[in-house]
Chains A and B, each alone.
Chain A
Amino acid sequence: MTHPSAARAGLRDGMSVVAGYIPFALALGASLGSAGVDPLTAWLSSPLIIAGAAQLVTVQMLGAGAGVAVVITTALVVNARHVLYGAKMASLVPSWSRRDRGLAAYLLADPMFALASARARVDDPPEVPDTFRAYYFTMSWTCWAGWLVLTGSGVLLGDVLPAALPLDVAAALTFLLLLLPTLEGAAAKAAAVVGGVVAALAGGLPLGLGLLLGAAAGVGAGTWVSRVSTPAQSTRQEQSHV
């Protein structure tokens, strides 16, 4: 594939993601705008964080008056999967310059990672570095621009939407829909069930501690299930290269 056609494919894939994200990003923007934080500040989470779930957690917890350390810790826990995204992306672009990899890391949110991995799976090994770079950056900047515009529109629209509209329910459903694709295997399901139930039971704790408790219990339960279900594998392969 040539350089311009890779960029065109990136633009096409990026636009289709943006189109699919319209209701989600509008609802998320409206939730950001109505969380009790200055709306412009809340929207700035889009270019600064670029990760819907973490943006919502940060802004909602700030709006609810949670402690700074708890807000930052919780949001980073929510985003911990991005470490894996970076690790996998590194294996796809070993020849990129440090500058390109630094910029790629800024843009490496959920849809960008999903599209980049899907493209690398089709072209195995990934295309020559130049064309894959053209694809990745065109696709990522398209998603980035769409995310900023859509969440910004949601923040503005949130002000004129009647208070009866279910933005809080939309936020809960959005998290549910982000959760569903992660439920692969018994360990992940155990992590989700235990994490959700413990967080719900500990909901009365202050400063969002119930959430952290739920997350820790969920990871603990999932780790236990993965050890019980694949004991041979975990002892055979102690380390894996990325």
Chain B
Amino acid sequence: MSDLLVIAAVGLGTYGMRAMFLVRRPRSVHERGNTMLHLLAPAVLAAIMLPALLAPRGTVSFGETGASLAAAVVSVAVWRRTRGIPHALFAGLVAWWLVLALVAGP
């Protein structure tokens, strides 16, 4: 139940952010605030992504970390060509599986 309340609070907060300028009448936004908002997405997403990629199951290991880094490289390469999240995700997961199979050996 408390988990649901936390999720609902995040939902309410997210709605508040979406509605802040859309529901109220348009007003001015400070240039510096605007710049910081633009930078939040890359900073936060990288801060979530990099630790998870380096330690996919909570610990850094040659096989697991190598496989997830290979998956990341392949995903980025495919995304650059296709700009499609599904293709890039699928290709990355295939690369992850192949590298892990190679490291584990026959």
Q: Which residues of A contact B (CB under 8 A)?
A: 20-24, 27, 37-38, 41, 44-45, 48-51, 53-54, 57-59, 62, 68, 71-72, 75-87, 89-91, 93-94, 98, 101-102, 104-106, 108, 166, 168-180, 182-183, 187-189, 191-200, 203, 210-211, 214-219, 222-223, 226, 234, 237-242
Contacts and interface: CB of A to CB of B under 8 A. Distances in A.
Given A45-B11, A166-B93, A169-B56, A223 B36 contact: yes
Contacts of B75: 173, 176-177
Contacts, number: 285
B30 interface: yes
Residue in A86, A101, A238 whose Cβ sees the most chain B Cβ within 10 Å: A86
B41 interface: yes
B17 interface: yes
B: interface residue count bin: 35 or more
A215 B97 contact: no
Contacts of A20: 84-86
A182 B41 contact: yes
A104 B18 CA distance: 9
A239 to B, nearest CB: 5
A196 B49 contact: yes
Contacts of B53: 172-173, 176
Contacts of A94: 26
B90 to A, nearest CB: 6
B17 A83 contact: yes
B73 to A, nearest CB: 10
Interface of B: 2-4, 6-11, 13-15, 17-23, 26-32, 34-57, 67-68, 71-72, 75-76, 79, 84-86, 88-90, 92-93, 96-97
A39 to B, nearest CB: 11
B13 A76 contact: yes
B68 A106 contact: no
Contacts of A89: 22
A215 B22 contact: no
Contact of B39 (A45, A82, A90, A222): A222
Contacts of B93: 166, 169-170, 173
27 contacts: A41-B4, A48-B11, A53-B48, A68-B6, A72-B9, A75-B14, A78-B44, A80-B37, A80-B40, A86-B19, A90-B21, A101-B22, A105-B22, A172-B52, A175-B48, A176-B53, A179-B46, A180-B79, A182-B41, A182-B45, A187-B39, A199-B47, A210-B51, A217-B43, A218-B42, A237-B31, A241-B26
